[in-house]
A and B are shown apart, each in its own frame.
Chain A
């Protein structure tokens, strides 16, 4: 059991980090191991925002190996060296934890080549790269992660998030949601459910050059959709195709720089409650997540089996 939530404000910028934090905190009981946010903020002068990590959180409950902080410095130095070689200009860098960083950078070449080079450094993973997207995930509940990364200050239009109960893979940042839709900027995915044809699909996608950073089945959805988009298929078409090509039970949310989508498997086995108005779309595994935004009585409903919906900002 995991909890997922998403919201999109139409034509309005709000304190998106705080709103998503409140929604995810209400879903803590569905997954206390880790929490992740994909926030679509105001960006920085059309520069790229890159969130990456050079190691794992080895705090209480973590299944990651404690490597020692000094190795993080070596990895970070290697990333900086590769950024110069790639022709990227770092405008601003910020270290949030001993193992996680946020860079603002200028870069105008192929993102796949960029990612491959940066991630060739051992244990380095780009969590997200985009003009608006800031993807943050770590161990702990929504309040802990938000405070740690200062997410309550981020303003934006939309976002998706996840509270994870680790089942088939470890308790670490690598396996936490959301997943970035490598190699597309500003694409992120969160998922509640299980995919039963994960390995078949993963092997097929790896043969096509796509990369997987974890053994979490949910990562498949992000990579699957990214591969569809790479072929020129629209996000909505890709999501519709996923209903038959991905096997298992799932409800997932996907976000891009200007849209938010949801898909529910043909068995409708995983929950999702939806609120729609002219100004706001809010979704959550449970209505109590939406109630943190809208405490008054509201009309909500469960999307049906095999349903795909996409909203634009």
Chain B
């Protein structure tokens, strides 16, 4: 079990643990700029205005267009029935919305979203919520590989188990997994956090640049440059808050979590001597 250290800094939780240098594209959100809150063409919706859509005989394009049309009519809560494992449903929603899928999605479900709250009462296939920017996605059952690939923000929650390469290339946000995670979880992650209440597969956090992972069960093996770090009181407080939001792990003993961060020896080659570089690999 990791020792718990009191540390009040954000750095201890893996947030902004290094200063970005060079040609970074990082831009900070300006809360004074009202136009930042809405995309061009975004709709004003009323969460109390609710409707159902049956996806059984719709193609993914037809369903996605239907969701957009309903939002333009002010519907803020849309229930999709019979998604039947179809691919690319609910993608590209850049709007506030309560979206509920009564069933399972196939590949690339709810990708590139910014803002909606999505609940999927089934399973999702590969690459769910890829490139998600903001919002909350809750999956009641299991998820396939590449879960949350390259997400930038938001909360992505799978109450079951997830496949390989979960959080690959993620640049922000939080992924929360109630069960186990497959191999190469957190592969090349750059920011953000992953919480796994179950076991993690081989090569956890391989080549991670930054960000933090917390694992409640066993780790099969660490990937290159992934190292264990000290669990702090801030970490535990944050984990408690996040799991509450995720509606899972309320009775989980958070002091038993293993914290994993980047050793930062692999990615910053310029700062290393040749023998250090070799050692990192």
B148 part of interface (Cβ distance < 8 Å): no
| Cα–Cα, bound, A269→B164 (Å) | 8
- Contact with A268, one of B86, B122, B145 (Cβ below 8 angstroms): B145
What's the nearest-Cβ distance from chain A to residue B260, in Å? 18
B186 part of interface (Cβ distance < 8 Å): no
Task: Mark contacts of B130-155 with chain A using CB atoms, 8 A cut-off: 1 yes-contact digit, 0 otherwise.
Answer: 00000000000110110000000000
- The interface stretch among A69-77, A115-123, A134-142, A299-307 is A299-307
- CB-CB nearest in chain B for A297: B103
B272 part of interface (Cβ distance < 8 Å): no
A240 part of interface (Cβ distance < 8 Å): no
B104 part of interface (Cβ distance < 8 Å): yes
A195 part of interface (Cβ distance < 8 Å): no
B182 part of interface (Cβ distance < 8 Å): yes
A295 part of interface (Cβ distance < 8 Å): yes
Q: Tell me if A304 and B84 are in contact (CB < 8 A).
A: no
Residues of B within 8 Å of A125, CB to CB, are none
Query: Are A291 and B84 CB-contacts (below 8 A) given A268-B163, A268-B164, A302-B142?
Result: yes
A238 part of interface (Cβ distance < 8 Å): no
Residues 277 to 299 of chain A near chain B (Cβ within 8 Å): 286-288, 290-291, 295, 297-299
- Contact with A304, one of B122, B123, B183 (Cβ below 8 angstroms): B183
- CB-CB nearest in chain A for B147: A302
B223 part of interface (Cβ distance < 8 Å): no
A248 part of interface (Cβ distance < 8 Å): no
Q: Tell me if B123 and A287 are in contact (CB < 8 A).
A: yes
Q: Tell me if B145 and A302 are in contact (CB < 8 A).
A: yes
Q: Tell me if A286 and B201 are in contact (CB < 8 A).
A: no
Query: Are A271 and B126 CB-contacts (below 8 A) given A297-B104, A300-B142?
Result: yes
Residues of B within 8 Å of A305, CB to CB, are 164, 182-183, 201-202
| Cα–Cα, bound, A266→B183 (Å) | 8
B222 part of interface (Cβ distance < 8 Å): no
- Contact with B106, one of A267, A268, A286 (Cβ below 8 angstroms): A286
- CB-CB nearest in chain A for B103: A297
Residues of B within 8 Å of A301, CB to CB, are 123, 142, 160-161
Task: Mark contacts of A198-212 with chain B using CB atoms, 8 A cut-off: 1 yes-contact digit, 0 otherwise.
Answer: 000000000000000
What's the nearest-Cβ distance from chain B to residue A189, in Å? 23
- Contact with B123, one of A267, A288, A300 (Cβ below 8 angstroms): A300
B125 part of interface (Cβ distance < 8 Å): yes
Q: Tell me if B122 and A267 are in contact (CB < 8 A).
A: no
| Cα–Cα, bound, A304→B201 (Å) | 8
Q: Tell me if B84 and A295 are in contact (CB < 8 A).
A: yes
A64 part of interface (Cβ distance < 8 Å): no
Residues 175 to 197 of chain B near chain A (Cβ within 8 Å): 180, 182-184
Most A C-beta atoms less than 10 A away, residue of B85, B125, B165, B184: B85
Residues of A within 8 Å of B125, CB to CB, are 271, 273, 286-287
Q: List 6 A-B contacts (CB under 8 A).
A: A268-B182, A273-B144, A288-B85, A297-B104, A302-B164, A302-B182
Question: B-side interface residues toward A, CB under 8 Å?
Answer: 84-87, 103-104, 106-107, 122-123, 125-126, 141-142, 144-145, 160-161, 163-165, 180, 182-184, 201-202
